[in-house]
A and B are shown apart, each in its own frame.
Chain A
Amino acid sequence: EPEVTQTPSHQVTQMGQEVILRCVPISNHLYFYWYRQILGQKVEFLVSFYNNEISEKSEIFDDQFSVERPDGSNFTLKIRSTKLEDSAMYFCASSRGDSLMNTEAFFGQGTRLTVV
């Protein structure tokens, strides 16, 4: 069964450093998402991406965040200068979205980002 894969599973970084979280969405999917969950809190939407551009983003997704689909298979989330409060589990998701029957989003297992 096709799945969304995320790497690494755990990333530890120093405050102020840049991090890139990587995701390989399901190959025939058209819509890509990043969500995050701070420990003990709710899953929060960050950004959605379609047709090589951001389609929607939340207030969390400020200038420190960016997304890219560099090579047609990977979908990355970059945090330019990490802060302690960026520590969270980051989930990538993808969906086909080409019809109402294909709106189910598949989620990856997540990357745990720890900023120290």
Chain B
Amino acid sequence: DQQVKQNSPSLSVQEGRISILNCDYTNSMFDYFLWYKKYPAEGPTFLISISSIKDKNEDGRFTVFLNKSAKHLSLHIVPSQPGDSAVYFCAAFGLGGSNYKLTFGKGTLLTVNP
């Protein structure tokens, strides 16, 4: 049962354009959402997060939007740069029972072409 879904395994954009990475979730108990970026042969690194009480969080070129009613979030990167080429993971966290666990999506490979 995939509680966090990233339905696009890959995305290719031109340098300078906007990259939009999408994520859907099914568990209404999720309270906090995070995006991680991963380069080959490295561990994932934290990028940006958003609490369920907000609908937008911005950090430089990165903005995350949350639509709670649709259980959907997206990461916008603008302008995209070749160094942004990586796998992006959406992750979610919820306070439920005794389990504290980040649930990850399967990732989207972003390629930014010069």
Given contacts A42-B106, A107-B44, list 9 more A-B pairs with CB under 8 A: A30-B100, A35-B104, A42-B107, A91-B43, A97-B93, A100-B95, A106-B46, A109-B42, A110-B42
Complex Cα gap A89–B38 (Å): 13
Q: Which residues of B contact A (CB under 8 A)?
A: 31-32, 34, 36, 38, 41-46, 49, 51, 87, 89, 91, 93, 95, 98-104, 106-107
Report A40-63 CB contacts with B as 1/0, cut-off 8 Å.
Answer: 001101001010000110000000
Q: A residues within 8 A CB of B42? A: 109-110
Chain A contact residues: over half helix, strand or loop, or mixed? Answer: strand
Q: Taking CB as reference atom, which chain A residue is nearest B100?
A: A97
> How many angstroms between the C-alpha atoms of A40 and B102 in the bound complex?
22
Contact call A55/B101, Cβ cutoff below 8 A: yes
CB pair A56 B101 closer than 8 Å: yes
